[in-house]
Amino acid sequence: MADNYIQDLLGENERILLVTRQHGFVLFSNILLEILLIVLLVAGVSALSLVYPIAMFGYILVLVPLAGMIRDILIWYNRQYIVTNRRVVQISGVLSKDVVDSSLEKVNDVKMSQSFLGRLFDYGDVEILTASEMGVNNFKHIGNPIKFKTAMLNAKEGMGFDEMGVHSRPAEDVPALIAKLDELRKKGILSEAEFQEKKSDLLAKM
């Protein structure tokens, strides 16, 4: 069901490069309390039922933490972080869905951080800085963070964007590229010095 929903979100000629979720440690920490409650309830009811057979009805109480555990598993499973050849998508929600995406064109920088345990068990935080109104997308404790970051950078490069987010085009399109750079400068994405440097590089190609 989740996979079908992702496919419905894709545009024409858009393809999925990588799908990941928060690390299994996140799921385990969320359901640990429910697991302990289930074990304690089963043990307690089993012990009481040896003396009081009617106590067997107490097994019904197990349904409460069991329902909570199933809910946490579904929330974890349906929270996905996806890299396509055009954008980065974050999907969450079981019945109702929240979708946040960032166009690779607007991605200015990607920061990844891993603790010692994160390096051992392959999880970490990925922070995406964009030129959109959202500014920053922070994906915490995701699995395969290095692959996630690499997939993003490779996809952006495959689109033909350089480190400043400007699409590579033939020399005859240099004036259009300079105009694009000027727009980025006016928006504060590029400093004056960066604008002049990129402008000089483009003029040198004419």
Average pLDDT rounded to a whole number, residues 33-60: 90
The verdict on residue 185 lying in a domain is: yes
Q: Please check whether residues 8 and 89 belong to one and the same domain.
A: yes
3 CB contacts (<8 Å, ≥6 apart)?
none
Number of domains in the chain: 3
The proportion of the chain whose per-residue pLDDT surpasses 70, expressed as a percent, equals 85
User: Per residue in 69-82, pLDDT tens?
Assistant: 999 999 999 999 99
Strands, E assignment, the chain: 16-20, 80-84, 87-92, 98-103, 107-113, 123-130, 136-143
The verdict on residue 152 lying in a domain is: yes
Mean predicted lDDT score pLDDT of the chain: 82
Q: Please check whether residues 63 and 142 belong to one and the same domain.
A: no
Q: Please check whether residues 121 and 195 belong to one and the same domain.
A: no
pLDDT band at 162 (very low <50, low <70, confident <90, very high): very low
Q: What is the pTM of this model?
A: 0.68
pLDDT > 70? residue 161: no
Q: Please check whether residues 196 and 154 belong to one and the same domain.
A: no
User: Per residue in 114-142, pLDDT tens?
Assistant: 999 999 999 999 988 776 555 567 889 99
User: Which domain CATH number covers 106?
Assistant: 2.30.29.30
